[in-house]
Structure 1
Amino acid sequence: MQIKHTLNIGILAHVDAGKTSLTERLLFDTGAIDRLGSVDAGDTQTDTGAIERQRGITVRSAVVSFTVGSTQVNLIDTPGHADFVAEVERVLGVLDGAVLVLSAVEGVQAHTRVLMRTLREMRLPVVLFVNKIDRRGARGDDLLDDIRRKLAPHIVPMTAVRDLGTPLARALPQALGTDPEFRTRVAETLAETDDALLARVVDGPFPSADELHTALADGTRTGRAHPVYCGSARTGEGIGALIDGMTGLLRPAPTDAAADPAGADPAGAAPPRGTVFAVERGTSGKKTAYLRLFSGTLAARQRVTLHRHGPDGTRLAYTGQITALHVVGRPANGSNGPGSARQLAAGDIGAFTGLAQVRVGDRLADPAGRDDGPRPPHFRAPSLRTLVRPRDAAPGAASRLHTALQRLAEQDPLIHACAEPDGTTSVLLYGEVQKEILAATLAHDYGIEAVFEPSRTVCLERPTGVAEAHEEMGRRAPSPSGFWATVGLRVEPAPRNAGVAFRYETELGALPHAFHTAIEETVHTTLRTGPHGWAVTDCTVTLTRSGFVGPVSTASDFRGLTPVVLGRALERAGTRVYEPCHAFDVDIPLDALPAVTSCLAALGADIGETAGGATSWLVKGVIPAGRVRSAELRLPGLTRGEALWWSRPCGDRPISPASPRTADGTPAR
């Protein structure tokens, strides 16, 4: 049957909820594979890396496909551990919808809440799947109440469970057309967010089964309602109903250029636009990139332009030719026409080779430079930094380690591997598990045994005032610093989250282009290390004076003088250090409130709200990012293991330059 729709679905869950097992079951039940893989056996379709197989966790996103009728479903299995949240967020930008998996035994866990909030912020349709109904201790109605209270208030249970918590557990689909009680429950739930439907429920005529199905699909796609399916990935119970829900309630992706009329060119054809969300290297070092196409078409031998933002915020672009391309989920049939395995259409995911510089997060734009397609999500920066060195001190070991880390940064650019003057390499991290995975990957894939120093919180600096500095050369003499150049710079604060902006007050063209480029690039490089040792952000740097003597002056003169002048301007303006913070919610037993609040206060938390008091306390506040791990480790002992902790980045707060902390909360300096 010809494929008419492509649906890109992410499978997300707290670690160990069973999402990789669910992916295997979906592939098996739809005939995409003929044997079920096992996480324990290490032979699943999506955990293909050796480290993933050894540890039984997903580290990198993987794409697999199956077909239901005329709909091709691309499943993207994502990491479940909180340390890999950036990998999850990166994938969300290429999805049409998501299946959020919960364990019927563990219920709503901390990272489940993080994922649900992220999905809602991205406005992605979400279907929930309660897994492990056949396990002892599985919960039923009280778990649905937890989902309403902690995840989504307007849920629609789509299956009834019999013999819950036993090997005989069954998930029975509920039908709108044949079950009047179910139809009434669905109508009442949907009416809570739909005034027109509410009027029909109250005043009549009562909506028909078809009308309710349409309303449920619309509510799911707009995020006003969330269908809940129950089942077991192990036994296959409830999987058929989940597949029907995925293909019937989540919005299929557009499959032609007409879906993007705003980006169409005058001839009516939309230019290709897409996002690279995964990169793999083969044993030979050859790169394969995975791209979701949002508009236009793409084929092998086509020249494309990819864009990215550098670590300092500068926009980079490069053009290359695709040497090979395969549409995920389409069998190779020799055809190059629309819908074939070698021509990518809007909504498809393709694997391509040929662009050696490609990295995760790169965005495809047409050669004219237009890039007004769907915007990627904002990725929070890692809040920890560590230094890595090879255990082996042999010549060239440090260089090999740095090269390996740079290759890993192609898969996760946010780790930002950077060579340090002492021969070590600094990398950015989200947590200690990510550090363990990096160490294991370096050892297994590159044969490098690496030593990681204790992680430190990544702080930043912002200017506190406005100041200028300049240095001029004479007519026949260099500047006091010994450079044949004149540079004047002004530093001033910019709004929060504005980043770094470079402007000119001098006349453009007064300097050769190479000298302008040298100044601007050096400004961004210099701001990576401010007066207190942290990167400077949220500031505007303006070139106020410039001069050169030809042919004596060179670009290196401007690269040498700019840091001197900028450093003086920063010292005069003054900077303040800020440490990243997390907003937290922690649900604790009634009798644990005094101990928990005292512990959090000792860790530097600002407690903003305490609510509840009937069955438990909900404490909210802000805590330094470097103290989050300490809080997570201490809370179980203070609450008999009953604390439910959830935190998310929420900006930063000023601190003394001497007080940045290591990952365990101790002073770093």
Structure 2
Amino acid sequence: MKNIVLGILAHVDAGKTTLTESMLYLSGAIRKYGRVDHGDAFLDYNNQERDRGITIFSKQAVFEYNDCKITLIDTPGHVDFSTEMERTLQVLDYAILVINGLDGVQAHSETIWHLLKHYQIPTFVFVNKMDISLKDKHELIEDLKKNFSEQCYDFDNLDTDFFENVALNNENLLDYYLKHQTLEDNMLVDEIAKRNIFPVYFGSALKMSGIEHFLDQFTKYIATKEYPEDFGARVYKISHDDQGNRLTHLKITGGLLKVKSLINKDEKVDQIRIYSGNKFTTVDKIEAGNVCAIKGFKNIQAGQGLGFEKDEISPVLSSYMDYRIILPDNCDQHKMLANLQLLAQEDPQLHIVYDSSSQEIHIQLMGAIQIEVLKNIIKERFNIDVDFDFGRILYKETILEPVEGVGHYEPLRHYSEVHLLLEPGPKDSGLQFALNCKEEQLPINYQHLVLTHLQEKEHLGVLTGSPITDMKITLVAGKAHQKHTEGGDFREATYRALRQGLKMTKSVLLEPYFAFSLEIPAESLSKAIYDIELMNGEFKIKDQTADKVILSGKAPVSKIQNYQNEVISYTKGKGRLIYRLDGYQPCQEQDKIIEQINYDSEADLNNPTGSVFCSHGAGFNVSWDEVPKYMHIPYQTKKAAKPVVTNYREERYQDEDEELEAIFTKTYGPLKHRGESSHKAKPLIKEPVYKPKPECILVDGYNVIHAWPELKELVKDNLDAARFRLMDLMCNYQGYKKCILILVFDAYKVKNNLGTSEKYHNIYVVYTKEAQTADMYIERTTHELASKYNITVVTSDALEQLIVLGQGAKRISSRELYLEATRLDQEKLEEYRRKQPKGHDYLLADIKKYNSNQGE
């Protein structure tokens, strides 16, 4: 009999729990078919899950089908509970990713796909709700290929093209296909297990359509893993039963586990439970490949490896918001902290922290729904009503240059010195630790002790006191004393070496980013692009039709997390914003955030940056920048960092439209950016002198062309002719106004277009770059330069007029420009005529002059 652990995953509302219910019912594991909307689904037995209609906690069910024993783990689909979902991935053999046939691939679906790839889990895709989907199979398959993998195949259509494509995966398959014009089932089983192909099936879980066929196919194409004989296990969850017993959920990855066994010398297996729903059976032993819950373990944590399995796997997902827990007045703070630590054992990503200086308890969460769920859990478990204040963004810090940090701890009768090499790591790589120290210099037991101290706590940066990340930390040297070194000495030296290194190099503040998908009406494109640029985000046009545009990109969480309401407002309910966490990137307002947090690394007594040395029998403190003068071991790396200014200012993000600034520089000299200040002494001025701002007119070219009668007729035959005619008219207009005039034309649909800016006689003509409309260019220019210039924007776009008005610019319509330009032409013509002598015929005079010259 085949035996696998199967996870079922999906974006919220894709029908994951309904599919689970259908599979359990068809297999005979349950007799009654429950429904999420009826509140009687087999695995949604928690009251909060039934009330909300979503899965909050991962749970398991065991069923058999077609000579296969399947332990199915149902995982949360809501993004707020993503960390609960990720922990289960560590123990899966296969996964079913459920896609909503109405919407196709959604943002959280992509997150799950990336996680499945990270953990290398073979995956089947089930496209649900096909009974009400407006998309056909071909559209949905193309969506999967585009967003997931080209190797997603409709397994109900195994034709010649399918076998040819799969055969190209390796030479053995290709040789077999060339001989037989097909592939055997066992070959497909192997390719699925290696994640070389991803079977796709279609159906409706609610209507039980296609589910039996899917189960037949699924059990046909899976295979049981082979496990070693030595004992190994991976812990993925901690929970408590109704009696308060601590349960450790794990998968056996090798050997055998029996009741009464001792793990890690002091952890005893009192009971082995096999859960299915909220009920369980007990067994005396459990073999590799199976999942169980152990009663008796006291200190083993989620993510921990047992036996030959390595310790904790660093999660990919993490919370990005920090909240302060507000306790009732009569609540014992320390008792409540202990209660919350129990919850943190069940969900380590809650990351409960007690701030001793402010006597506050902080917790890390992912969203509003998680907050409400947690409040209810605390009420149910501990009968205490708590609240949460407004969350703040969780920043992180990393370094830009390698540095060797030195920590020394030598009060009376103590001694230790540690040298750590800190090196920048890849984005989202977390912290990596290594040893590169000679044993004759520092015994191996002390080296491992340093490694333990590096891993035992969350180390803080020196800019804002935020956790450090994305770096490799290597022990390169150390020294102990045969008589005076105590156990805690290397803890002190290690911590101080790390902090001293951070002070010696350049640090940068990181902030969380969301990857987003924004679907809006076509007429809202300019507004959306303008907003994204104000957020310091980046985007591309993913799809565009006559009436709809889909933008995808990324932006800082701090800027975009509340943008959904604004999207609903300016699209009149037609827009939709979906986002997912996309790791950390350099903070674009670093100086501002550092100033707001106001962290003083030297005042943080719990995380000292200096060292303690000994002189004349007494210890004395040495500041971080003086440590190199006192250290006992020379630098081990060739490039020892020199002290730098710690309030590191990240390089300014340059305006992408540098050609615009060049226009103003040529005309009025260098432009001073907002936020910059001059440190030069200013002369005293007795009386204020008013200097009018220079004038600048920004013209939306195509908007004007379609509003002016002469140009509107011309454009029907030749767009270029209309464009150049407008350019000539604007040259005349600039001559009258004596201002800077910038004529902007849309070129955002031109692929790989970098945009251009050129001088045309006395005006400037700008062609926007790819994915940049004239509206967006004008809005951004107005925002940047309104404080330095009197800007007038020419457009008949009502929304555009409203936006630039809010930026302090004047605006006139394209028709008003036409009337003014016509009036000025007429006035100049009349003025010209008035200045000429009456009765003077220049044409006859020229002829007479010509004849006179010919007669000479």
Which bin holds the TM-score, normalised by the shorter protein?
0.7 to 0.9
* 1:14-33 map, 5 Å: 14-33=11-30
**8 Å Cα contact 2:110/2:147 also seen in 1:** yes
Q: Report the Cα distance in structure 2 between the residues aligned to 1:379 and 1:136, rounded to whole angstroms.
A: 33
How big is the shift at 1:104?
A: 3.0
CA pair 145-401 structure 1, distance change in 2 beyond 3 A: same
- In 1: Cα distance, 2:450 partner to 2:119 partner: 39
The code of the aligned residue for 1:415 comes to: L
Q: Does 1:298 align with 2:257?
A: yes
Residue 64 (structure 1) shift = 0.1
Q: CA 1:304–1:439 in 2, change beyond 3 Å: closer, same or farther? A: same
Counterpart mapping for 1:329-344 below 5 A: 341-344=283-286
* Equivalent-residue separation in structure 2 for 1:6 and 1:60 (angstroms): 24
Partner Cα distance (1:216, 1:457) in 2:
46
Give 1:408 deviation, angstroms.
1.4
Paired with 2:386 and 2:31, the residues of 1 have a C-alpha distance of 40
* Alignment correspondent of 2:88: 91
CA gap 1:529/1:442 in 2 versus in 1, 3 angstroms: farther
Shift of 1:246: 1.9
Match of 2:530 among 573, 598, 603: 598
Output the amino acid matched with 2:193. Answer: R
- Paired residues in the alignment total 586
Q: How many Å apart are 1:15 and its aligned residue?
A: 0.8
Q: Tell me the residue number matched to 2:235.
A: 276
Q: Displacement of 1:484 after TM fit?
A: 5.1
State the AA in 1 paired with 2:318: A
* Equivalent residue, structure 2, for 1:313: none
Q: Tell me which residue corresponds to 2:198.
A: 226
Mark the CA change 1:457 to 1:91 in structure 2 (over 3 Å): closer, same or farther.
same
- Determine the C-alpha separation between the residues in 2 that align with 1:599 and 1:459: 23
Q: Does the 8 A contact of 1:327 with 1:343 survive in 2? A: no
Task: State the TM-score, normalizing by the size of structure 2.
Answer: 0.60
User: Secondary structure of the equivalent of 2:166?
Assistant: coil
Residue type of the alignment partner of 2:330: A
1:286 is displaced (CA, Å) by 0.8
Picking from 352, 361, 380, the partner of 1:444 is 380
The residue that corresponds to 2:40 in the other structure is: 43
CA–CA distance in 2 between the matches of 1:487 and 1:574?
Answer: 26
In structure 1, runs of 5+ residues without a counterpart are 160-181, 264-269, 306-317, 335-339, 474-478
2:74 maps to: 77
Secondary structure at the aligned position of 1:98 is classed as strand
**Amino acid of the structure 2 residue aligned with 1:581:** Y
Tell me, in whole angstroms, the C-alpha distance in 1 between the residues paired with 2:12 and 2:268: 39
CA distance in 2, matches of 1:212, 1:514: 56
Alpha-carbon spacing, 1:602–1:129, altered in 2? closer, same or farther (3 Å): same
Return the alpha-carbon distance in structure 2 between the equivalents of residues 468 and 137 of structure 1. 61
Matched, 1:242 2:214: yes
* Partner deviation per Cα, 1:51-94 (whole Å, 9 max, x = no partner): 22222211111110111142111111000011222222221221
C-alpha distance in 2, partners of 1:472/1:230? 65
1:325 corresponding residue in structure 2: 272
Aligned-pair CA distance for 1:32: 0.9
Which blocks of at least 5 consecutive residues in structure 2 are unaligned?
Answer: 599-856
Q: Please say which of residues 130-139 and 278-287 is displaced more in the overlay.
A: 130-139
Percent of aligned pairs with the same residue?
Answer: 22
The one-letter code sitting in structure 2 at the alignment partner of 1:72 is: K
CA distance in 2 between partners of 1:376 and 1:346 (Å): 20
1:371 counterpart residue number: 309
TM-score normalised according to structure 1 size: 0.75
Q: Larger Rg: 1 or 2?
A: 2
| Distance apart, 1:22 and its partner CA | 1.7
SS in 2 for 1:535: coil
Q: C-alpha distance in 2, partners of 1:556/1:283?
A: 40
- Amino acid of the structure 1 residue aligned with 2:114: R
Residues of 1 paired with 2:250 and 2:415: CA distance?
A: 46
Cα shift at 1:244: 0.6
Q: 1:588 to 1:501 in 2, by over 3 A?
A: same
Q: 1:129 to 1:527 in 2, by over 3 A?
A: closer
Match of residue 530, structure 1, among 447, 454, 462:
462
Amino acid at match of 1:407: L
* 1:179 paired residue number: none
Alignment check: 8 A CA contact 2:402 2:421 kept: yes
Cα distance in 2 between the residues matched to 1:158 and 1:555: 61
Higher RCO (CA-CA < 8 Å; seq separation 6+)? 1
* Alignment of structure 1 residues 352-363 onto 2, 5 Å: 352-363=294-305
Say if 1:286 and 1:563 are closer, same or farther in 2 by CA, change over 3 A. Answer: same
2:393 aligns with 457
1:468-527 Cα offsets, whole Å, 9 max, x none, are 666676xxxxx5xxx654554545432313626486979889899899959973896583
Change (3 A) 1:324 1:188: same
**Distance in 2 between residues matched to 1:465 and 1:438, nearest whole Å:** 41
Q: Distance in 1 between matches of 2:494 and 2:194?
A: 51
Shift of 1:415: 1.8
Q: How big is the alpha-carbon RMSD for the aligned residues of Structure 1 and Structure 2?
A: 4.1
| Aligned CA distance change for structure 1 residues 107 and 325 (closer, same or farther; 3 Å) | same
Amino acid at match of 1:17: A
Query: Is the CA contact 1:114–1:646 (under 8 Å) kept in the aligned structure 2?
Result: no
**In 1, are the aligned partners of 2:232 and 2:253 still within 8 Å (CA)?**
yes
The alpha carbon displacement at 1:606 in A equals 3.5
Instruction: Give the 3-state SS of the residue equivalent to 1:102 in structure 2.
Output: strand
**In the TM superposition, what is the alpha-carbon distance from 1:448 to its structure 2 partner?**
1.8
Task: Find 1:253's aligned residue among 196, 200, 224.
Answer: 224
The answer (yes or no) to whether the contact 1:468–1:488 under 8 Å persists in 2 is: no
Shift of residue 416 of structure 1? 1.6
How far is 1:192 from its partner?
2.2
Q: Is the 8 A contact 2:15 2:128 kept in 1?
A: yes
The match for 2:147 among 135, 146, 150 is: 150
The answer as to whether partners of 1:293 and 1:346 remain within 8 angstroms in 2 is yes
Question: Is the CA contact (8 Å cut-off) linking 2:75 and 2:84 kept in structure 1?
Answer: yes
Which residue does the alignment assign to 1:435? Answer: 371
Q: Tell me which residue corresponds to 2:422.
A: 493
Residue 508 of structure 2 corresponds to residue 576 of structure 1: yes
SS of the counterpart of 2:44? coil
Counterpart position of 1:466: 403
Tell me: CA distance 1:47–1:148, structure 2 relative to 1, closer, same or farther (3 Å).
Answer: same
Distance 1:498 1:99, change over 3 A: closer
2:48 partner amino acid: I
CA apart distance, 1:302: 1.6
- Normalized per residue, which structure has more helix? 2
d(CA) in 2 for partners of 1:321, 1:238: 46
Q: Which amino acid aligns with 1:32?
A: A
Taking the aligned partners of 2:577 and 2:162, their CA distance within structure 1 comes to 28
